[in-house]
Amino acid sequence: MPRHVHIIGAGLAGLSAAVRLTKAGIGVSVHEATRQAGGRCRSYDDAATGMHIDNGTHLLLSGNHCAVDYLKAIGIAPDFAPADFRFVDGANGESWILRLGDGNLPTWIFDAGSRVPRTALLDYLKLLPLLIGGADRPLREVIDRDSELYRRLLDPLMVAALNIDTPSGSSKLAAQIARETLLRGGRACRPLVFEQGLSTAFVDPALAWLTERGAVIRFEHELEALSVADQKVSAIRFRDGEIAVAPDDAVVLAVPAYAAATLVPGLTAPDQFRAIINIHYDFAPPTGSPFMTGVINRNVEWIFAFRHRISATISHADRLLTLPRQELAETVWREISDILEMDAPLPKWQLVRERRATFAATPEQNARRPGPRTRWPNLFLAGDWTDTGLPATIESAIRSGRRAAEMIPSG
Ligand SMILES: Cc1cc2nc3c(=O)[nH]c(=O)nc-3n(C[C@H](O)[C@H](O)[C@H](O)COP(=O)(O)OP(=O)(O)OC[C@H]3O[C@@H](n4cnc5c(N)ncnc54)[C@H](O)[C@@H]3O)c2cc1C
């Protein structure tokens, strides 16, 4: 049984590993480079606007079972909404609601009133080759892009889930998302967005849970190098000194792919990334605004009407990174005003560009994802970019941390 496990990185993968190991009775220390835990899934007080915001609005689905287990383990009861998804076509104002029901099977595809307007059962059955599997291919080779189903559902869904232009996306990752959510019926697709902020759900309760149980969490403690002796990691080096890793200790490296590649010589890992832009507006939405709206044919892709603010998400956003921030904030505000039928001047806003939000979910990058084991038996990898079978999501990060923890013998 390891005496102690050092976890590098306090993002969701690292926190998930820490929770799992602590539950198994193993002592952990978490070393986080920054002043804050949560990594790419975090909240903060924005001094410029006075808003409490997330780096990006995150959507969880009820089918994300490792994430749900994690939340329950740290004392959070996730409260999912019904699986009704409102969409608007920004080109003509047409709107529709996709009603996935509450069953365990995707029976909604048989009901013309529930499925995407102007689609037929046959359109959905044409997706079977994608779901059956086979080699990982770009989606452009697998799905018919000249259909209403593609324009109104598959494209927005895949851009959001894979964070890439859909035609380049990995068919394997797309199929796995569908298997874990859409194919399991509405019960696995109920959405949850975090009104009080991501940290209140995923991060702060985990830190409290861990410290109450004796875990050590060190901030501003960036791992600079791993030392190896006798084919094992023997020490971890930080700016303020080295910590010896005893022969029966272990290390879980739960840092982003680009950081892991610099710490582990010869590691093959994804090396291309895609951006996500979020814009938060300090404006209470009109009463009755739908909580969440998917938008096609505009810049904005998802609008979230929180109680005291409106947030907009744009995935696969690399094309917009060079646009002046003010211009993008104004453009998206006009789009939101149209869609939510409001007439208000641009309020205070904050725009967050996450340049390396996720690895690029192409077949080529997906093939570069390593598993949790490394050539050193006491070093394990975790992170949304490791080979979890899912794109870079909360579920992938939490699953990877749990998997790395489960590889460490607990007695
Ligand atoms: C804007 C945005 C929107 C998103 N939307 C969604 C969504 O709607 N739904 C969804 O499921 N997912 C979403 N995601 C993806 C999700 O946030 C990530 O998959 C997840 O947070 C990744 O967690 P992680 O622990 O693998 O990595 P990270 O969060 O990157 O954590 C790694 C941690 O390691 C630390 N670190 C790095 N180097 C070192 C070092 N040398 N020493 C010590 N610490 C180090 C970092 O500071 C960081 O805290 C979104 C991501 C972004 C950016």
Q: Which domains does the chain have, with CATH numbers?
A: 4-45+198-271+362-407 (3.50.50.60), 104-189 (no CATH), 273-359 (3.90.660.20)
Percent of the chain predicted with pLDDT > 90: 95
pLDDT band at residue 109 using 50, 70 and 90 as cut-offs: very high
Q: Identify the pLDDT of residue 345.
A: 97
Based on its alpha-carbon atoms, the radius of gyration of the chain, rounded to whole angstroms, reads 22
336 lines ligand 1 (CB under 6 A): no
pLDDT band at residue 160 using 50, 70 and 90 as cut-offs: very high
Going 45 to 47 to 51 to 57, the CA torsion angle's sign is: negative
The residues that bridge with 224 in the sheet, in sequence order, are none
391 lines ligand 1 (CB under 6 A): no
Question: How far is ligand 1, taken at its centre, from the CA of residue 119, in Å?
Answer: 36
The phi, psi pair for 341, rounded to 5°, reads 55, 55
Q: Is the overall model pTM greater than 0.95, yes or no?
A: yes
For the CA of 222, the closest atom of ligand 1 is 42
162-200: pLDDT as tens digits: 999 999 999 999 999 999 999 999 999 999 999 999 999
Q: Identify the pLDDT of residue 411.
A: 56
Question: How far is ligand 1, taken at its centre, from the CA of residue 300, in Å?
Answer: 22
Indicate if the pLDDT at residue 134 is higher than 90.
no
Indicate if the pLDDT at residue 1 is higher than 80.
no
Q: Identify the pLDDT of residue 276.
A: 98
Q: Identify the pLDDT of residue 324.
A: 98
**Nearest CA owner, ligand 1 atom 13:** 393
Indicate if the pLDDT at residue 331 is higher than 60.
yes
Region 116-143: mean pLDDT is 92
287-298: pLDDT as tens digits: 999 999 999 999
Give the C-alpha separation, 152 to 117, whole Å: 9
The phi, psi pair for 214, rounded to 5°, reads 95, 0
Indicate if the pLDDT at residue 314 is higher than 80.
yes
pLDDT band at residue 409 using 50, 70 and 90 as cut-offs: confident
Q: Identify the pLDDT of residue 136.
A: 97
259 lines ligand 1 (CB under 6 A): yes
280 lines ligand 1 (CB under 6 A): no
41 lines ligand 1 (CB under 6 A): yes
Which is more confident, 238 or 411? Answer: 238
Question: How far is ligand 1, taken at its centre, from the CA of residue 116, in Å?
Answer: 33
Name the residue among 410, 406, 396, 397 with its Cα closest to residue 373.
406
145-158: pLDDT as tens digits: 999 999 999 999 99
279 lines ligand 1 (CB under 6 A): no
Give the C-alpha separation, 402 to 59, whole Å: 20
Please state, rounded to an integer, the average pLDDT across all residues of the chain.
96
CB 122 within 8 A of CB 207: no
